[in-house]
Amino acid sequence: MATEVADWSPVADSVEVVSYDTHFADEDALAAALADADIVVTLRERVPFPGSLLARLPRLRLLVASGMRNSVIDYAAAEAHGVTVCGTASSSTPPVELTWALLLGLARGIVQEGNGLREGGPWQQTVGADLHGRRLGLLGLGKIGGRVAQVGLAFGMRVSAWSQNLTRERTDEVGVELAPSKEALLRDADFVSVHLALGERTRGLLGPAELALLKPTAYLVNTSRAAIVDQEALLAALHEGRIAGAGVDVFDTEPLPAGHPMRTAPRLLATPHLGYVTRANYATYYGQAVEAIAAYLAGSPVRRLPVPPPTTPGPV
């Protein structure tokens, strides 16, 4: 897809493009494959670039990561080894749309009913969960969470949101309620959707105690980062039927190993990290990767990562 959705002709005379369509099993395999690479374009956070790997790539000079946030690149090591890191734009629209695909798929039993129809199973085997009038609880109300909220409102849902720094000014701007606490949001919601960045404060934010607050008829959707939800606790809740179901697009290990319990968990609608995977988004990723390569070769790198924090004026 990298070579199909973007025009590589601006750098065709300067670089030879080699693409890999399979995931490397370990750092040794990755280091061997990239040993002769001067430039690497990596997709989101699928492949870590720790200092140990960067030290084994002496020819590497430019690393282009899709998106402007990447938690699996050791920026200090990249700088120490003389590697420039650049990013690209990334649209928030695809993860918003996938969130609703998962939520609606869960609510109306789309996969189960579709499979039953194709395989000669029972005619109508589920009773769908209504959206109109139900409570949608959003953990996070940033760019993605805000747009998810707007869709929920269009469905006639009662929408509330919570995060550690969320203000009433922001909830008023979006037109949703500010939940008094994380616990209150979880207790009241019929559907909970996670839209938070992964950090020290959000890692394990939903553990056994928090999942126990959900109604047995509630659904949980996570298109953000797997580590925000305790994976063992989620599996236990699904197997024990303590929640109605979950829609998950992110996992603790990706690609998900063949025998991973998430592949066979009951009440789970799972997709292989498709949140950002759309043709328009890929055209942006790889089109801007070409721009980044051309700019670097011209001596003027663009969209360098990490983005420096905004400076605040000192005392006058």
Copy the structure tokens of residue 50: 């720790």
The catalytic residue among 27, 242, 254, 260 is 254
Check if 225 is active-site.
yes
The catalytic residue among 113, 195, 273, 291 is 273
CA distance 189 to 98: 20
For residue 140, CA distances in Å to 113, 147, 183 come to 31, 11, 14
| 3-state helix vs strand vs coil in the chain, percent to 5 | 35, 15, 50
The catalytic residue among 134, 135, 195, 225 is 225
CA distance 211 to 233: 7
- What is the SS3 assignment for 172? helix
Are the C-beta atoms of 210 and 186 separated by less than 8 Å? Answer: yes
Check if 118 is active-site.
no
- CB atoms closer than 10 angstroms to residue 265: 18
Which residues does residue 49 pair with via DSSP β-bridges, in sequence order? 73
Check if 200 is active-site.
no
DSSP string computed for 13-62: TT-------S--SSHHHHHHHTTT-SEEEE-TTSS-B-HHHHTT-TT--E
- What is the SS3 assignment for 99? helix
Tell me which residues are annotated as active site.
225, 254, 273
